[in-house]
Chain A
Amino acid sequence: AQTVTQSQPEMSVQEAETVTLSCTYDTSESDYYLFWYKQPPSRQMILVIRQEAYKQQNATENRFSVNFQKAAKSFSLKISDSQLGDAAMYFCAYRTQYGNKLVFGAGTILRVKS
């Protein structure tokens, strides 16, 4: 069974600075999908970014980018120019190629200081 590990329970970043959230996973599959979801205090789950394992190029969405290291099974999220609205709980998630079930990490609470 696949597992997802987020080793940072909490992180802090100064407004306008850059922060990186870590995520590692364990799988024996070669093709799969990885996601980062954001959950603000409203508790709505918001998709931040996704990565297909067969793509070597790291995904980027505006201020959000990932560092996908397939061999190391690592999928970190970098948030540039952090904003107060980025404060939330961030979940890393894994999905197998052949199904829709998501496996979530424990989450990282990100605090943004003004």
Chain B
Amino acid sequence: GAVVSQHPSRVICKSGTSVKIECRSLDFQATTMFWYRQFPKQSLMLMATSNEGSKATYEQGVEKDKFLINHASLTLSTLTVTSAHPEDSSFYICSASRERESNQPQHFGDGTRLSIL
């Protein structure tokens, strides 16, 4: 159980394009989802916390207008990179926590490798 699906796994697109990444909890309800960014051989950097039915909470330094997050249901959160540029190229990972299981670990998606040409 506790499967998180992230799609797409790889995106290559031109500069100026907007890219949407989906994160789904397949077999549980996730009131909270997290979006991370990871550069090669570095740690995961939390970008934002996504709560179902409310606005996302962004970490300091993360542009809200650049990285749009929507958490419309208990099983789906989306990250849209708007007007992407080469510097947005990175590995993006989502994770989800089960509802009411504060002592449970986050369950991670397999990540999305975004390449902006």
Nearest CB in chain B to that of A6: its residue: B43
Is the pair B43, A105 in contact by a Cβ cutoff of 8 Å? Answer: yes
Binding site for B on A (CB under 8 A): 33, 35, 37, 42-45, 47, 50, 52, 89, 91, 97-102, 104-107, 109
Greatest chain A CB density within 10 A among B46, B106, B110 is at B106
- Chain B neighbourhood of A99, CB < 8 A: 102
Asked whether B110 lies within 8 Å of A44 as measured between CB atoms, the reply is: yes
Is A43 touching B91 in the complex (CB atoms < 8 A)?
yes
8 Å CB contacts to A: which residues of B91-114?
Answer: 91, 93, 95, 97, 102-103, 105-106, 108, 110-111
Measured between beta carbons, the chain A residues less than 8 angstroms from B97 are: 100
Is the Cβ of B43 less than 8 Å from the Cβ of A107? yes
Please give the distance in Å from B13's CB to the nearest CB on chain A. 20
A-B CB pair tally, cutoff 8 Å:
48
Residue of B nearest to A42 (CB): B110
Q: Given A43, A97, A106, which contacts B43 in the complex, CB threshold below 8 Å?
A: A106
Write the nearest CB–CB distance from A29 to chain B, whole angstroms.
Answer: 14
> Which of chain A's residues have a CB closer than 8 A to the CB of B106?
100, 102
Give chain A residues whose Cβ lies under 8 Å from the Cβ of B105. Answer: 33, 35, 47, 50
Contact partner, A44, options B32, B43, B103, B111, Cβ 8 Å = B111
Give the residue of B42, B43, B49, B93 whose beta carbon is less than 8 angstroms from that of A101: B49
Selected contact of B111 from candidates A43, A104, A106, CB within 8 Å: A43
Alpha-carbon distance between A35 and B93 when the two chains are bound, in angstroms: 18
- Beta-carbon nearest neighbor of B31 in chain A: A100
Q: How far is the CA of A35 from the CA of B108 in the complex (A)?
A: 13
CB distance from B104 to the nearest CB of A (A): 9
| CA gap between A47 and B79 in the complex, in Å | 24
Binary per-residue interface labels of chain B (35-62) against chain A in the complex, 1 for a CB within 8 Å, 0 otherwise? 0001001111010010000000000000
Report chain A residues within 8 Å CB of B93: 43, 45
Q: Is the CB of A91 within 8 A of B91?
A: no
Whether the pair B41, A45 counts as a contact (CB closer than 8 A) is no
Residues of A within 8 A of B49 (CB): 100-101
